[in-house]
Amino acid sequence: MTARLRNPVLANATPRRRSHGRVTLQQIAEAAGVTKITVSRYLREPQRVASETAARIAAAIEATGYLPNKQAGMLASGRSKIVAAIVPSIANSVFAETVQGLSEGLQDAGYELLLASSGYSIDREEEQIRAVLGWSPDALAVTGRHHTPAAAAMLRAARDAGTPVIEMWDWHPRDADFVQVGFDHAAVGRTMARHLVDGGRRRLLYVDTGVTEDFRAHERGKAFVAAARAYRGVSAQAVTAPPDDAFEAGRAVLARTLDTDGRPGVDALAFANDNLACGALLEAQRRGIAVPRDVALMGFGDFAIGRQLGGGLTTVRPPRHEIGAQVARTILGMLQAGPASGARHASQRQLRCALVGRRSTAPAEPAPLAG
């Protein structure tokens, strides 16, 4: 109520308050008859406040519905308790499970997850990285090891400033600027090729996704073709599926492989994901093409539907949930170790994929699936 002087000469202007209307720590403090810092302590380390004081503070908080302003807390402390993650797509169930694992692992440690999706575009990823860094996350997880130069620069800068940066879903022995938690997609491609060749298949086709910046799928395909061709008497090629609905795309690709007799011109197809493979499987059933007798089909991802169709779709099961869980553990470890320690040089984390053999690639047998 007293006039406030803020110029040696001039006097008494009404203080221009800019309050935004929410209940503040100050108000709780007044209500409880203490100062702000005591309330602040109560919130963070309740046992360091006298129990009687604590009770009064608790009552005031309860009565007002006070919610601490996290912006202010972060600004003052420099710690955000936020981990940012950028995935290609949140709609894709594959990444959804990773996010779930990450979220679970962080929640217990009191971290919140700031999630962004790039739509499989590294340009959008760059924007998203810039956006989330503005929030000063305590750690940052991105998907894959392919970034724009500007994005890579921001990631390096963040890491060098002590913020853990993790690349998820990838693992590459020689191209690892950052800590990686994932698996070797080239190795998966080779495993897929070997599985088909071991099953007696000789004319292979890899069907890549129409999503142009799914680098990991491309890498599997490239390795698949190279590995297949290294076998004597085996031919292999790659095609790209149309960008439609994956089931329809898979159907279309199978239809395209038919030769003049209406039989597939190849004896095995490996797909970039299970939905594509399921589309092909359904189209084969519809046309009376016997799977696996006439053609073997396999996918990647181990989606639920693959277990249901025909006698089951052979696939590769990536550690979807485990990637997220491991990323959470790695981040917490790096955070605990502190920027000064050597934790930033923590070794890459290679996780394992499982080949799930089902009927769609079984070696020739008497009773085909369809036809």
Partner DNA sequence: TTGAAAGCGCTAACAG
Partner DNA sequence: CTGTTAGCGCTTTCAA
Parallel, antiparallel, or unpaired: how do β-strands 203-208 and 235-240 relate? parallel
By CB under 7 A, tell whether 81 contacts DNA: no
Closer by beta carbon to DNA, 6 or else 174: 6
Instruction: State yes or no: residue 20 binds DNA (CB under 7 A).
Output: yes
Residue 337 interacting with its own copies (CB under 8 A): no
- In the list 64, 69, 148, 350, the residue contacting DNA (rule: CB under 7 A) is 69
Q: Least separation, in Å, of the C-beta of 74 and DNA? A: 8
Token pair belonging to 5: 């002087």
Alpha helices, H only, 50-138: 51-64, 70-77, 93-107, 122-133
Per-residue contact flags (x/-) with DNA for residues 38 to 57, judged by CB under 7 A: x-xx-xx---xxx-xx----
**Residue 232 binds what, of DNA, its own copies, none (CB under 5 to 8 Å, by partner type)?**
none
Q: Which of 8, 15, 21, 342 binds its own copies (CB under 8 A)?
A: 21
In DSSP notation, 8-30 reads SSS--PPP-----SS--HHHHHH
| Three-state secondary-structure class, residue 284 | helix
Amino acid at 243: P
Residues numbered 247 to 286 that lie near its own copies (CB under 8 A) are 247, 275, 278-279, 282
Using the rule CB under 8 A, is 133 a contact of its own copies?
A: yes
Instruction: Count the residues of the shown chain that bind its own copies, applying the rule CB under 8 A.
Output: 50
Q: How far apart are CA 180 and CA 169, in angstroms?
A: 8
Rounded-to-integer distance, Cα 139 and Cα 130, Å: 14
Helix (H) or strand (E) holding 347: none
Instruction: Determine, following the binding rule CB under 8 A, whether residue 13 of this chain makes contact with its own copies.
Output: no
**Applying CB under 7 A, does 75 fall inside the site for DNA?**
yes
Chain-centre distance for alpha carbon 311: 30
Q: Which residues form the interface with DNA (CB under 7 A)?
A: 4, 6-8, 15-22, 24-26, 34-38, 40-41, 43-44, 48-50, 52-53, 68-69, 72-73, 75-79
